[in-house]
Structure 1
Amino acid sequence: MSDQVETGQMTSDVDDDDNASSIFDATKFKIVAIGVIAALAGLMSGLDIGVVAGALEPFGRQFHASTIALEWVVSSMMAGAAVGAVSAGWLSHSLGRKRSLILGAAVFVGGTIGCALSWSVPSMIVFRVVMGVAVGISAFTAPLYLSEIASEETRGAMVSTYQLMVTVGIFVAFLSDTYFSYTNDWRMMFGVAGIPAILFLIGVLFLPYSPRWLIIQGRHKEARQVLLDLRDDPLEAAQEIRAIREQLQTKQNGFALFRTNSNFRRSVALGVMLQAMQQLAGINIVMYYAPKILEAAHFDAHSQMWCTAIIGLVNMLATFVAVGLVDRWGRKPILYSGFTIMALGMAFLGVLLNNGMETQSSQIIAVFLLMVFCAGFAMSAGPLMWVLCSEIQPLAGRDFGISISTLTNWVTNLAVGVSFLSLMQMLGSAGTFWLFAALNALFLVLTILFVPETKGMSLAKIEKRLMKGTKLRHLGR
């Protein structure tokens, strides 16, 4: 009899363990699926960044565009993104994170159709601005949404997934550009970018609302249900709801806080610096102008496109390193590695270009150095700047601080995009890459001096240290 009872108890324990494991697996799968769908906003950004690299040359030939006109075709997207980033804070607060993502996807679809049907340089610039508005909204909203859906343990990886999807979009765009380069069909290069955007638009419709936004709106039961679905432990969900309610007692009043609180101004300045570092590292000169760079290295037209696609593949694969290590190694060690790799890659590429690129071996080395540079960026500054910017802003100024840093990203991106071809003409290819090598060396020093290590730190602890006046580099661990 006792054996039967003991056996029954053991069976019950095993069943409970199986049920717990099943619930854990289902929860894990659900949050991963939500994260991937939300991060597809990055796919739209990547497609927009990547498609212009292949479309620029045939489009310019058809409409006899000057160098300055081509720079504005590239950079008009960033001007639109700056507008989108400025408006995204208000949209995400008023409409919610989910509806803002839906709006961004719909605008992006319209912009891609317009670019594919463009009849002149000015019309292309207008529709590139439209696409940029969508990208700016999504670039603000998606990392914010992901940081609010994720737990503290997975926050770094979840937000990094956004940048991973940016690199996937760039790679897909480069492959598409390469395929259509044989017919010089720049219209199809732009047109196919609308297909993933439509899929993203459909996927977002099935996402839950951000629990933080639901509580802001007074929809507490819905927020509780969302967190119960996304957390393994109901007690964890209840504690998170209490923490959100306590934080939300501090109302959003970012501009007033910026005027009156020097500690908040420090976090805004840090966010601005981080996003400027990301863009001035030089990644987008490779993403936008890779064929032009390879042309300077004496590659023929089709080789330029295939090498560009390979660079995009490396850029995508290296981002997996950041997603896998950001919550293990921490933010700063990865940034140290990335800026060192980028500085060396740019410096040696400048040496090659300065010495001439007539031999096949030198051309192969040039492509390798571009891949090394992209790998360094993709594993570090690419995703981690978004992670850090979502972590360092205090709750009362969160929307304002992230809006300013996202705006900085696109304004700096615009400055780089609109000046690169002219910079190459003025400084020469070698001098231009030495300039970016020096900038990356500078950014390594700035990371040491100012960037905090936020791995495993709650947003509340980071905010408490910030408002006490703790040095920026000591805000985290």
Structure 2
Amino acid sequence: MPEDDLVSRAMTHASPQGQATSPATPTTGHAIVVGVLAALAGLMFGLDTGVIAGALRFIGTDFDASPRMQEWIVSSMMAAAAVGSLIAGTISFRFGRRRALLGSSILFLLGSLISALAPSVTVLIIGRIFLGFAVGIAAFTAPLYISEVSAVAQRGSMIACYQLMMTGGIFLSYVTDGVLANGAHWRWMLGLMTVPATVFLIGCLFLPDSPRWLMMRGEKLRARTVMRYLRPSPQQADQEISDIATELTRGRSEGFSFFRNNANFRRSVGLGIVLQIMQQLTGINVLMYYAPKVFQAADFGASAAGWATALIGLINLVATCVAIVTVDRWGRRPLLLLSCAIMTGSMLLAGGLVEYGGHDTTAQIAMVGSLLVFVLGFAIGAGPLVWTLCAEIQPLRGRDFGIVCSTFTNWATNWAVSNTFLSVLDTLGEAHTFWLFAGMNALFIAITLFYVPETKGVSLENIESHLLAGWPLRDLGARSMPQDAKISTRPSA
């Protein structure tokens, strides 16, 4: 697997510590336009993730699809995204970030067309698989590309643009579903995705190659030309090219060999995998994919269920903005603990309302309120912070490998949950399903308390040195080793 540790630095929104320093240069208008065009991948990600929520009930009616078949319609995209995330690094390294994004835009367009015109469930699933490959490739490549074309001082805000587009895409898809729900126009819901997919494809045609990728290919003159296009002065561009050349002399990730030989690295990879599993077991994607079904089960009409789902998308968007602003002020652990506590309480309440609340208007309003609070809790903590922590805790020598492991785990667990939810719902009932997710969120609180470090304001190098010295995972961000902590004696290669 090719190495590129800048993907993790982009995801952590931190300035890249440990590399040659360069002046904090502003991002030019060219770089902003290029970054926004690449961030359209996030919009497509969000649109294709959210649109199926409103379309699914109409697809089930038209194709007489059983709940089990509907699970496959939803989860086929997640399974393909897991595979796409595994091959994205190789594609991005071999063919370049621009071509990887261009390829994903073509897959988005083809997948949207196939899904909208599908004459059967089988063809619809094929279209969803195309979309999954597109999502898996784009979700890996777009933040990486944006990090490489943006100036250091603005890298965090440019990556935030990608995240905001993703949550904005989910919200827009819910609004579209709400507008089209009255006529059961599910083909229009899926077909409208071709419009942003076409815009994304055209935008990718005008993207320059990443200067860092060109440097990795030994094309220094082309890299300098692109960098001068993206930076406000030739001197600043040339300095950044020099910094990249210096960093590239330090070698690449040892990947799997480092994982096999170093017990401490296995600990950080293991924590990243556990965090991604727990993120998916919070119940968030069940709500994103099946929200209208959940609301209809609570006696909402089809149109009311669609608009209640759109409100969930809006809360997700706004709360994500809050998380971006507060994560470097409040810290990871406090936000994550608050997030899990809110989700636990709201899932308990939702289950209680289903079981004991009745079916009047007051109960319906309370149900919407509990699920909105749940989404708010997820978006301020478990949503963005799991990705941030998974990048921060991995050492440089294996960062790319560690991120690929956690990303694949996210999609694989996403697939497993979305592929079984309706069956679990039928077996346990709605109330007990909500309570099951409440239990998972309570477990997430315990994992955070015992294993998740506070990494706010701590350099990646210090986190790495603490990890490889055998410090407990919980203390990786500490300034000094707590006296009651037990240092691992496992060898550090």
Scaled by the length of structure 2, what TM-score is found?
Answer: 0.85
Structure 1 partner of 2:415:
414
Structure 2 partner of 1:187:
187
Distance 1:468 1:338 in 2: 31
Structure 2 partner of 1:56:
56
1:401 aligns with 2:402: yes
The structure with the largest alpha-carbon Rg is: 1
Note the residue ranges of structure 2 that are not aligned, 5 or more in a row. 1-22, 479-493
Matches within 5 A, 1:199-210: 199-210=199-210
The verdict on how the C-alpha distance between 1:384 and 1:28 changes in structure 2, with shifts beyond 3 A counting, is farther
Q: Which moved more, 1:304-313 or 1:230-239?
A: 230-239
Distance 1:332 1:223 in 2: 40
How far does the alpha carbon of each residue in 1:390-410 deviate from its partner, in whole angstroms, 9 at most, with x for none? 333333333322222111111
1:38–1:146 Cα contact (<8 Å) kept: yes
The verdict on how the C-alpha distance between 1:124 and 1:31 changes in structure 2, with shifts beyond 3 A counting, is same
How far does the alpha carbon of each residue in 1:112-171 deviate from its partner, in whole angstroms, 9 at most, with x for none? 100001011111111111110110111222233344455666555544443322211111
Q: Which moved more, 1:194-203 or 1:172-181?
A: 194-203
Structure 1 partner of 2:366:
365
Structure 2 partner of 1:352:
353
Distance 2:154 2:466 in 1: 22
Structure 1 partner of 2:145:
145
Matches within 5 A, 1:127-138: 127-138=127-138
Structure 1 partner of 2:173:
173
Distance 1:461 1:34 in 2: 33
Structure 1 partner of 2:118:
118
The verdict on how the C-alpha distance between 1:65 and 1:373 changes in structure 2, with shifts beyond 3 A counting, is same
Structure 1 partner of 2:79:
79
Structure 1 partner of 2:40:
40
Report the Cα offset of residue 243 of structure 1: 6.7
Name the SS for the 2:394 alignment partner.
coil
Note the residue ranges of structure 1 that are not aligned, 5 or more in a row. 1-22
1:178–1:306 Cα contact (<8 Å) kept: yes
Distance 1:345 1:197 in 2: 36
1:152–1:456 Cα contact (<8 Å) kept: no
Report the Cα offset of residue 422 of structure 1: 1.0
Distance 2:286 2:43 in 1: 19
Matches within 5 A, 1:294-305: 294-305=295-306
Distance 1:450 1:38 in 2: 35
The verdict on how the C-alpha distance between 1:119 and 1:164 changes in structure 2, with shifts beyond 3 A counting, is same
1:143–1:390 Cα contact (<8 Å) kept: no
Structure 2 partner of 1:335:
336
The verdict on how the C-alpha distance between 1:183 and 1:308 changes in structure 2, with shifts beyond 3 A counting, is same
Name the SS for the 2:330 alignment partner.
coil
Structure 2 partner of 1:13:
none
Structure 1 partner of 2:20:
none
Matches within 5 A, 1:321-332: 321-332=322-333
Name the SS for the 2:329 alignment partner.
coil
1:139–1:406 Cα contact (<8 Å) kept: no
Structure 2 partner of 1:390:
391
How far does the alpha carbon of each residue in 1:207-246 deviate from its partner, in whole angstroms, 9 at most, with x for none? 4444443332223455556666458996798378537634
Matches within 5 A, 1:423-438: 423-438=424-439
1:157–1:326 Cα contact (<8 Å) kept: no
How far does the alpha carbon of each residue in 1:364-400 deviate from its partner, in whole angstroms, 9 at most, with x for none? 1111111111111122222222233333333333332
Structure 2 partner of 1:463:
464
Distance 2:360 2:304 in 1: 15
Report the Cα offset of residue 277 of structure 1: 2.0
Report the Cα offset of residue 284 of structure 1: 0.7
Scaled by the length of structure 1, what TM-score is found?
Answer: 0.87
Name the SS for the 1:422 alignment partner.
helix
The verdict on how the C-alpha distance between 1:392 and 1:76 changes in structure 2, with shifts beyond 3 A counting, is same
The verdict on how the C-alpha distance between 1:106 and 1:391 changes in structure 2, with shifts beyond 3 A counting, is farther
Q: Which moved more, 1:448-457 or 1:237-246?
A: 237-246
Structure 2 partner of 1:289:
290
Which letter maps to 1:193? Answer: M
Which letter maps to 1:74? Answer: V
Distance 1:392 1:151 in 2: 24
1:161–1:323 Cα contact (<8 Å) kept: no
Question: Considering only aligned residues, what root-mean-square deviation do their CA atoms show, in Å?
Answer: 2.7
Aligned-residue identity in percent: 50
Report the Cα offset of residue 288 of structure 1: 0.6
The verdict on how the C-alpha distance between 1:281 and 1:236 changes in structure 2, with shifts beyond 3 A counting, is farther
Distance 1:53 1:81 in 2: 18
2:24–2:152 Cα contact (<8 Å) kept: no
Which letter maps to 1:365? Answer: A
Q: Which moved more, 1:456-465 or 1:395-404?
A: 456-465
Structure 2 partner of 1:454:
455
How far does the alpha carbon of each residue in 1:227-282 deviate from its partner, in whole angstroms, 9 at most, with x for none? 66458996798378537634652223312222122222222222212221221111
Structure 2 partner of 1:109:
109
Number of aligned positions between the proteins: 455
How far does the alpha carbon of each residue in 1:294-329 deviate from its partner, in whole angstroms, 9 at most, with x for none? 012111111111111111111111111112222333
Report the Cα offset of residue 456 of structure 1: 4.0
Distance 2:454 2:238 in 1: 26
